[in-house]
Amino acid sequence: MTRMHRSALAIALLASAILTTPVFAQQYPSKPIRLLIPSPPGGGTDILGRILKEGLTDLWSQPVVADNRGGASGRIAAAAVAKAAPDGYTLFFTYGGVLTTGLPLFRQLPYHPIKDFAPVAMMAHVPGVLVAQPSFPAKTVADLIKLARARPGALTHGASSIGSSSHLNMELFKQMARIDMLLVSYPGDAPALVALLGGQVPFALNNVVVALPHIQSGRLRALGVATAQRVSQLPEVPTIAESGLPGYEGLLFYLVVAPAKTPAAIVNKLNEAVKKIKQSADVKQHFSRLGAISMDMTPTEMGIFLQQELEKWTKVIQARGIQPD
């Protein structure tokens, strides 16, 4: 084949790809979608992931299969998605920490948390809340800090895996309060909540999605919320910032990504679908009941945001000398 023929073939193939991608996106989805969730059933990630699952199924009349793969701080599910075909039929619904803390924490991953994924859509921001057993002697954030300073390293707190938002937001809390406490980690939101409710750990920085029903029932006491302003579902609970740690804010967000090189037309179609799902009255009501706050970003905005979060938590992890299990 001559150089001219090779060039003509390359141009033809490129033109074909440009023409067929929009057609492919119009036909998408034409078969079931697999939605990987990096936690066991029952936790905050799973609850919100299943809202998305049902929404996509209703919107497109195409089955969406939830695939829960907990453990390893989300790395098992993330690796499976990173290696999947970039065709829009394998998606990853995750809490942000999987993509913004794994690299500085573990230093080596079987995937790159930014380069190996295509940002698709933000789902929601969920306020964190510092909760304790009703019998725990500290009744406020100030009480907890005072108790921890009086007993360095003696208090234990729970978290849903090393590197999760519940873990790192508490590490930020300890750093700002200049206290030392012992971490007990669990493989996901649900196991961490079970341990807290069962008294295996006396307190934890949890999220409103999983903690709110237990706060309302009296099984847990809320000490403070990890947001800049008070949370509408818990108006009487002060922020941690106004309770002795000015400037403290812990961010927990949930998002959807796809394998890198997923066609932009499909990514954009998914982004619009997620926004449409969140506009439904049922989902708005569900979010309100859970304490979730809708967040919308374009894929480009989301990519910039994730890079900024990665840089932020890299500094926290290095400053605290945090090591994986």
φ, ψ of residue 4 in degrees (nearest 5): -65, -45
* Predicted local distance difference test score (pLDDT) of residue 72: 82
* Predicted local distance difference test score (pLDDT) of residue 2: 57
Q: Identify the burial level of 156 via C-beta atoms within 10 angstroms of its C-beta, where 0-12 means exposed, 13-18 middle and 19 or more buried.
A: middle
* H helical segments located in 129-263: 141-150, 165-177, 189-197, 208-217
Mean pLDDT of 196-224: 93
**Considering the chain, what percentage of its residues have pLDDT values greater than 70?**
92
pLDDT digits (tens, 9 = 90+) for 132-172: 999 999 999 999 999 999 999 999 999 987 777 888 899 99
| Equal CATH topology for 31-125+253-320 and 128-243 | yes
Which CATH code fits 128-243? Answer: 3.40.190.10
Q: Which of 117, 132, 44, 39 is CA-nearest to residue 83?
A: 117
Mean pLDDT of 276-294: 91
Helix (H) or strand (E) holding 99: helix 97-100
pLDDT of 295 over the 80 cut? yes
Higher pLDDT, 250 or 182: 182
Residue 261's pLDDT band, with cuts at 50, 70 and 90, is very high
Q: Identify the burial level of 30 via C-beta atoms within 10 angstroms of its C-beta, where 0-12 means exposed, 13-18 middle and 19 or more buried.
A: exposed
In whole angstroms, give the CA distance from residue 220 to residue 231. Answer: 17
pLDDT of 44 over the 90 cut? no
Helix (H) or strand (E) holding 259: strand 253-259
CATH of 31-125+253-320 among 3.40.190.150, 3.40.50.1370, 3.40.50.450, 3.50.50.60: 3.40.190.150
Higher pLDDT, 160 or 128: 128
Worst-scoring range by mean pLDDT, 14-18, 75-79, 111-115, 116-120? 14-18
**Considering the chain, what percentage of its residues have pLDDT values greater than 90?**
64
- In our burial notation (b when 16+ CB lie closer than 10 A, e otherwise), range 124-146 reads bbbbbbbbbbeebebeebbbbbe
* Predicted local distance difference test score (pLDDT) of residue 210: 83
Instruction: Look up the pTM and report it.
Output: 0.77
Mean pLDDT of 38-42: 87
Spatial contact of 169 and 208, defined as CB atoms under 8 Å apart: no
Helix (H) or strand (E) holding 294: strand 293-294
pLDDT of 292 over the 90 cut? no
Interstrand relation of 33-37 and 90-95 (parallel, antiparallel or unpaired) = parallel
Ranges of each domain in the chain: 31-125+253-320, 128-243
